[in-house]
Amino acid sequence: MTSPSGVRIVDSADVSPEAAIGQGSSIWHLAQVREEAVIGRNCIIGRGAYIGTGVVLGDNCKVQNHALVYEPARLADGVFIGPAVVLTNDTYPRAINPDGSLKSAHDWEPVGVTIEQGASIGARAVCVAPVTIGAWATVAAGSVVVKDVPAYALVAGVPARRIGWVGAAGVPLEQEAPGQRWVCPQTGTRYIEIDGTLSEETA
């Protein structure tokens, strides 16, 4: 079904009437979007994906099939979430309390994953909250992120560690000798690294 605003929600999707869906966004088969979730314009929510209560997505985000985005995650514009990615929300998960009683929503406080503009999370990666993924960073498929990821960083492994830098195009950067300058082989954009932080070089 496509609304007058260009929002497309297929019949098998479960979208709360209390969720806000931006113009031009699509929600595909068997996806679930919970109460008070906010999805920006031109987003794609893939088959079987889960968007938790109050989760916020910016514009032009892609959440691929079977990804789990638990509240209170916050995604900026242009974020890519690969297939079967999990953004967790419980630092010390337990089904029961120490007395054996079943935990309720009042027995724990969810913590979220924050993903900044243009960042990409590869297939089956897990981001263990609370962590922040910096702008334009890339988390390699299958990684487990347990600490913050700097902007433009390429991280991989369990636990994830930085193995390089990527530019806004997503392509690994090449180091220019001498010093800490890097260049994107696709766009020619240059970056400078200072104390483990990368930024785009200005004229």
Token pair, residue 76, equals 């900026």
Active site residue 66: yes
Helix (H) or strand (E) holding 56: strand 56-57
Question: Buried (b) or exposed (e) across 55-65, using 16+ Cβ within 10 A?
Answer: bbbbbbbbbbb
Q: Look up tokens 């220019």; give the residue.
A: 176
Q: How far is CA 177 from its chain centroid?
A: 33
The encoded tokens of residue 30 equal 């068997």
Q: Is 105 helix (H, G, I), strand (E, B) or coil?
A: helix
Dist. CA 25–CA 39, nearest whole Å: 8
Catalytic residue among 34, 41, 66, 74: 66
Polymer length in residues for the chain: 203
| End-to-end Cα separation, the chain, in angstroms | 49
Question: Which residues lie below 8 Å from residue 99, measured CB to CB, with a gap of 6+?
Answer: none
List the catalytic residues.
Answer: 66
